[in-house]
Structure 1
């Protein structure tokens, strides 16, 4: 039998192995979870019991960490433990962790129809390339990294489609013991995220005049060879929303608003899922197929109309 190792040693060997198979951004996400959560708690351990992990979960919940983040940490921890057990460096007994029922319902942040119209009208009247990004997200449901990575080459005004094939993100890296961040332009996380989105008539009217004169290799948001990064663009968007006296909606709320408008227009769920680049339709159903107050009122009115 191989010599038993501490979890911190197993983790380093697992990272060296894992780095060969995953995208740089995924590896960065794993590293961050390991550094901030796994090693401080389990790094010195030679064996991890189910009770240790259950206590860890309760502590993290108390500290305000979300269920999703904690579940992500447990996925990484399990991968490391299984790797250690496979190489006979670490004892691993599969564990079954319980999460308390989430009492609060997390409602999606979505723009009202009137606020969405107000923003879109403002952008049409006060055109800038950075404003155009917000208009594109409301018209195509793109993620912030995808719109930051969009070049004029990806915008086909003849066919009337936007091709989404890249994303920009700032990732966390550790090189020779030095921690730093790095901006990377990469393919999206899943193959479903690589997609073509039809351009609406209003958006096409905005894009056509520029498409004839711009450099196709330039990024849409900057109309320059250098892109803007999501963090910078998020801050620009916040100021724009403040200027328009809009609710304090996260940038991702633009994507939620696009999806909600599609569902409200009775667009079939499979199509919405493909437009958003979700890896499966259940993600779309879980996120968006919840009737809002407007739809609930309509259902009640229709029921009583039928009774009359």
Structure 2
């Protein structure tokens, strides 16, 4: 039938157009129709689009009237299995940023323009937060495309801006490490000794806090000086009694055998004489340590020593020490278990002002006397040579 003209009491001109046609889907005859087009041209364009869709895909997409909030909940139920626990935790956390605005809209009504306007309104918010919201929305849109609720991802060309509030990637010096560990041990309590060994492991291996807290004695090979890293503690959004160890790591490279430094080996040997439990870092009853409590209490003690502390600083420190001591980038990459060496260089390498000065002075070992000699041959004064400004005769 194609395009049909229908009388309408609500339309201004007294009629609307309907698209009505049959098509074959896997050999079965089906009918598709849609009403309410204002002009015949609009209806014909829609008809051509749908027939082209059948010809290309062998079927029509399963469009569904669903809001972004409904799609979000459906994604959590059916589409989140491929993601890490922390990714889903952060996805849930980001929901409140858009649930009262974008979340109320039909998924097929959220266009590039709508999304760009949304992020433009957030330009004075943190850039990192805005990027995380974009990632969360992208997961939902990708799920909706797979479910054939929408044809394209409206986020594709959206530009996200905001205020850069990222903290400087600070490191912990060896002296500050020793000072902090000694301060913890002065408490003379099992809990603080456990915190101290966690910090030492983080500093000398670069392990993330979730990986440190998931280590068992059986993961340490004292004979071959190796640590087996193959699991992490899952804790975000959970009660302490619900913490568990997972072998689903951040990436394939995260699982590895890494060297056990002699200095850490000695510390671990002493600690395991005191700690009777299977877990390396634990509470006095052998239970999992709460990562937030560890970080907050160590941060408080560090502050009393005028030391700035975040557990992830230990990983920054490990990476920076490797790079500063000219460790081959491929070795550093393997030790940090990064998927590519760009991450090793761009994210974790901390270079201070003294290191910059040292690098420049080592590279540019120029005797300006040569330039002075050259200038004399040209009857020039040394002061006239721009390369030797500030150089005394």
TM-score exceeds 0.5: yes
The equivalent residue for 1:176 is none
Q: Residues 73 and 180 of structure 1: is their aligned pair in 2 closer, same or farther, counting only changes over 3 Å? A: farther
In the TM superposition, residue 232 of structure 1 has moved relative to its aligned partner by 1.3
The equivalent residue for 2:131 is 71
Moved more, 94-103 or 53-62: 94-103
Extract unaligned runs of 5+ from structure 1. 174-178
CA deviation profile, 1:123-164 (whole Å, cap 9, x unmatched): 788882321111111111111111122222222221112222
Moved more, 216-225 or 14-23: 216-225
Relative contact order higher in (CA < 8 Å, ≥ 6 apart): 1
Counting only pairs closer than 5 Å after superposition, residues 66-105 of structure 1 correspond to structure 2 as 66-67=127-128, 69-90=129-150, 92=152, 94=154, 95-100=156-161
With normalisation by structure 2, the TM-score equals 0.66
- Within the candidate set 210, 233, 240, 1:145 is matched to 210
The equivalent residue for 2:72 is 11
The equivalent residue for 2:375 is none
Q: Residues 102 and 302 of structure 1: is their aligned pair in 2 closer, same or farther, counting only changes over 3 Å? A: farther
The equivalent residue for 1:284 is 344
- Within the candidate set 180, 202, 219, 1:154 is matched to 219
Counting only pairs closer than 5 Å after superposition, residues 170-189 of structure 1 correspond to structure 2 as 170-172=235-237, 182-187=242-247, 188-189=249-250
Moved more, 121-130 or 53-62: 121-130
In the alignment, the residues of structure 1 paired with residue 89 and residue 245 of structure 2 have an alpha-carbon distance, to the nearest angstrom, of 14
Q: Residues 303 and 77 of structure 1: is their aligned pair in 2 closer, same or farther, counting only changes over 3 Å? A: closer
- Within the candidate set 54, 57, 69, 2:116 is matched to 54
The equivalent residue for 1:307 is 367
Q: Does 1:167 align with 2:232?
A: yes
**Bigger-Rg structure (1/2):** 2
In the TM superposition, residue 6 of structure 1 has moved relative to its aligned partner by 2.0
The alignment covers a number of residue pairs equal to 299
In the alignment, the residues of structure 2 paired with residue 196 and residue 236 of structure 1 have an alpha-carbon distance, to the nearest angstrom, of 30
SS of 1:162's partner is: strand
In the alignment, the residues of structure 2 paired with residue 86 and residue 19 of structure 1 have an alpha-carbon distance, to the nearest angstrom, of 13
The equivalent residue for 2:93 is 32
In the TM superposition, residue 281 of structure 1 has moved relative to its aligned partner by 1.6
CA deviation profile, 1:56-77 (whole Å, cap 9, x unmatched): 2233342x3333x322322332
Is 1:7–1:90's contact at 8 Å kept on the other side of the alignment?
A: no
Extract unaligned runs of 5+ from structure 2. 1-61, 369-393
The equivalent residue for 2:353 is 293
